[in-house]
Chains A and B, each alone.
Chain A
Amino acid sequence: MLRHRTALVPSLFIGLLATRMFVGGAFGYGGDVKHAPDSLADGLAAWEQIYSVLTSPRCINCHTATNYPQQGDDRHRHFANVIRGPEGKGVPGLNCLSCHHEANADSTGVPGGPDWHLAPLSMQWQDRNDKPLSSAAVCRSVTDRSKNENMDGSALLKHHQEAELVLWAWHPGVRPDGTARTTPPLTHAQFVTATRTWVQAGTPCPKGK
Chain B
Amino acid sequence: MAIYKLTVNGQRKEVNVDPSTPLLWVLREELKMTGTKYGCGISACGACTVHVDGVATRSCVLPISLVGGPIITIEGVAQDPVGRAVQDAWVDKDVVQCGYCQSGQIMSAVALLKATPKPTDTNIEESMGGNLCRCATYVRIREAIKSASQQLK
Contact = CB atoms under 8 A, between A and B. Distances in A.
A98 B58 CA distance: 6
Interface residues of B, number: 33
B55 A95 contact: yes
A43 interface: no
A99 B131 CA distance: 13
A83 B126 CA distance: 7
A94 B127 contact: yes
Interface string A166-209: 00000000001000000000000000000000000000000000
Contacts of A101: 62, 66, 68
B68 to A, nearest CB: 7
B39 to A, nearest CB: 11
A83 B129 CA distance: 9
Interface string B105-125: 000110110111000000100
A99 B61 contact: yes
Most B Cβ at <10 Å: residue of A81, A97, A102: A81
A176 B42 contact: yes
A94 B21 CA distance: 22
Q: Chain A contact residues: over half helix, strand or loop, or mixed?
A: loop
A79 interface: yes
A107 B62 CA distance: 9
A92 B61 contact: no
B22 interface: yes
A110 B43 contact: yes
A136 interface: no
Contacts of A99: 43, 57-58, 61-62
B35 interface: no
A98 B45 CA distance: 12
A66 B150 CA distance: 33
A127 B86 CA distance: 40
A92 B56 contact: yes
Contact of B115 (A80, A92, A105): A92
28 contacts: A79-B44, A80-B45, A80-B46, A80-B129, A82-B130, A91-B112, A92-B111, A92-B127, A93-B56, A93-B109, A93-B112, A94-B108, A94-B129, A95-B56, A98-B43, A98-B55, A98-B57, A98-B58, A99-B43, A99-B58, A99-B62, A102-B68, A105-B61, A106-B20, A107-B21, A108-B63, A109-B61, A110-B61
Interface of B: 20-22, 42-46, 49, 55-58, 60-63, 66, 68, 108-109, 111-112, 114-116, 123, 126-131
Given A80-B45, A80-B130, 20 more contacts: A80-B43, A81-B129, A81-B130, A83-B129, A92-B56, A92-B112, A92-B116, A92-B127, A93-B56, A93-B108, A94-B56, A94-B128, A95-B56, A97-B57, A98-B130, A99-B62, A101-B66, A107-B21, A110-B43, A112-B66
Q: Which 5 A-B pairs have the closest CB atoms?
A: A107-B20, A81-B129, A92-B115, A93-B127, A93-B108
Interface of A: 79-83, 85, 91-95, 97-99, 101-103, 105-110, 112, 176
